[in-house]
Amino acid sequence: MDLGLKGRWALVCAASKGLGRGCAEALVGEGVNVVITARGAETLEQTAAALRALNPSVSVIAVAGDIASEAGRAAALAARPQVDILINNAGGPPPGDFRDWGREQWIAALDANMLAPIELIKATVDGMAQRGFGRIVNITSGAVKAPIDVLGLSNGARSGLTGFVAGLARQPRLAGRNVTLNNLLPGAFDTERLQKNFATGAAKQGVPAAELAAKRRAAIPAQRFGTAAEFGAVCAMLCAEQSGYLTGQNILLDGGAYPGTF
């Protein structure tokens, strides 16, 4: 199916690796021009080159910077102020015990995983409504539906974003102008972040990382981790011309790991 996205512009945040890159690849494959961001300029440039090779007919602009900072967001928006698609993403906060976290850790988590997406939505959403087309996808986490105790910073910050988006998506001046806002909730995806989590857990528990990975895999009904490519494909579907009636939703992509009926 043609997703009707050829020639559109997207800002894909935190996209040099992992899920963000998967989203950028899927959109570029659909003929979407992209601005991609990440802090590390070298890997970002390599990803930009790979995206250009994937589809030489699209424009790919790489903007290095921290999307959690005002300067990073300003640089990303300056590259292409009027985007049709916004994919919000950033690194997740570290695990730990809430007894060890102070204001500084909470503000960092809120900056990256709640306030940065809200600021980017604020900067782009009314232009989308004026033009009569907009797709915003926030990469959050399965932990919004089924919290993970050691990821308290993530549970809290992402739930704040989720509540905000739920209200905004239902504004008639957005939903009524073909602007949709949805959240994509990853379960376990085979990215650098997941591998690092296993390495950290392995070092703490004194067991091989492969053993932890195998245990986690076995607990997923699909019996495997997701891939960035399949995450990106679902993201592109949410952005499709045909998805204009799908808004304010939290789409869980977890191989069946969430045990609830709803």
Q: Identify the residue among 11, 18, 32, 121 touching ligand NAP (CB under 6 A).
A: 18
What distance in Å separates the CA atoms of residue 78 and residue 218, rounded to the nearest whole number?
A: 45
How far does CA 86 lie from the centroid of its chain? 10
In this structure, are residues 11 and 85 in contact, taking their beta carbons and an 8 Å threshold? yes
Residue from 108, 115, 150, 194 that binds ligand NAP (CB under 6 A)? Answer: 194
The one among 35, 58, 129, 188 contacting ligand NAP by CB under 6 A: 188
Buried (b) or exposed (e) across 63-80, using 16+ Cβ within 10 A? bbbbbbeeebbebbbeeb
Stretch that binds ligand NAP, among 64-72, 161-169, 174-182, 210-218 (CB under 6 A): 64-72
How far apart CA 227 and CA 190 sit, in angstroms, is: 6
Closest C-alpha to 186, from 127, 219, 146: 146
Binds ligand NAP (CB under 6 A): choice among 4, 31, 91, 94: 91
213 binds ligand NAP (CB under 6 A): no
User: Per rule CB under 6 A, is residue 144 in the interface with ligand NAP?
Assistant: no
Judged by CB under 6 A, how many residues of this single chain contact ligand NAP? Answer: 30
Residue 189 binds ligand NAP, judged by CB under 6 A: yes
Should residue 26 be labelled a site residue for ligand NAP when binding is judged by CB under 6 A? no
Of 4, 31, 39, 106, the residue at the interface with ligand NAP (CB under 6 A) is 39
Q: Nearer to ligand NAP by C-beta: 159 or 191?
A: 191
Other CB atoms within 10 Å distance of the CB of residue 95 = 15
Candidates 9-17, 27-35, 165-173, 175-183: pick the segment binding ligand NAP (CB under 6 A): 9-17
The DSSP bridge pattern shows strands 85-88 and 60-64 to be: unpaired
Among 14, 125, 213, 234, contact with ligand NAP (rule: CB under 6 A): 14
Ramachandran angles phi, psi of 38, nearest 5°: -175, 165
Q: Say how far apart CA 41 and CA 43 lie, in whole Å.
A: 6
19 forms part of the interface with ligand NAP (CB under 6 A): yes
* HSE-CB for 130 with a 13 A CA cutoff: 7
- Contact residues toward ligand NAP (CB under 6 A) are 14-20, 37-40, 43, 66-68, 89-92, 112, 139, 141-142, 186, 188-189, 191-194
